[in-house]
Amino acid sequence: MDTGLTVGERIALLGLDQRDGAPHDPLRVGAAVAAAPLLQLVRCGAVVAHEGELVATGGPAPGEPLAAAVAAQVREHPGARPQAWLLAVRDQAVTTAYEGLQVKGVVRREGRKILGAFGSYRYPVTDASVPRDLRSELAGVVLDGATAGPETAQLITLLHHAGLHARALPDADLAVVKERMGELAARTGASGAVGEAVSAALAALTVLLVSIPGIAAG
């Protein structure tokens, strides 16, 4: 299914409350949204594994601004751990994802007052068919064995590693969703150098989540 949404936007959308658009699991969602462009860079060969580390190849990064921001982190901070790159772009990644959903007419932003001030926002869905169709596609792949396209496979992999199973398919049996997503995520990693780089990128997501206070086991 071509939703016209980036993988990061899909993750952000799945993390919203289906009734009022309040963001749920913001730490997990933020980490997964930040990891999406790093995985994209690995898949296109702009970032590769070399001697146990992820390095920029100097090749062209995808045109997506977030991918360019992550690529800049890799180039400018080559000695940093990958989770540091993700942490550096996390807030930008989440903001960009929500802005993208607004521009594409999927959600609207509403200020939510906290102690009399507009301290946070929620994003009520304005086109309910988009999250409905997205979850339907995920259910088809995860529960019914349909073939996943590249972006859907990447989405499932990130959802699994971020522990967002319940946000993806809230009406399905959680144990079944976890098991099936784990199986699918294990199969999406390519072999050889690309597979090594994918594993390193996903490991960075896991380490980032573990390092954030308040994150419970997924």
117 within domain boundaries: yes
Domain assignment present for 145:
no
Residue 173 belongs to some domain of the structure: no
Q: Residue 168 falls within a domain, yes or no?
A: no
Sort strands 110-114 and 53-56 into parallel, antiparallel or unpaired.
Answer: unpaired
pTM for the whole thing? 0.88
| Segments forming the whole domain that contains residue 49 | 7-125+190-211
Domains in the chain: how many in total? Answer: 1
CATH number at residue 11: 1.10.3630.10
Tens place of pLDDT for every residue, the chain, 218 residues? 556 899 999 999 999 999 999 999 998 999 999 999 998 888 888 888 887 788 888 766 667 788 888 888 988 998 888 888 888 999 999 999 999 999 999 999 998 655 554 458 899 999 999 999 999 999 999 999 999 998 999 999 999 999 999 999 999 999 999 999 999 998 876 545 556 777 888 888 888 787 766 555 45
In a domain, 64, yes or no: yes
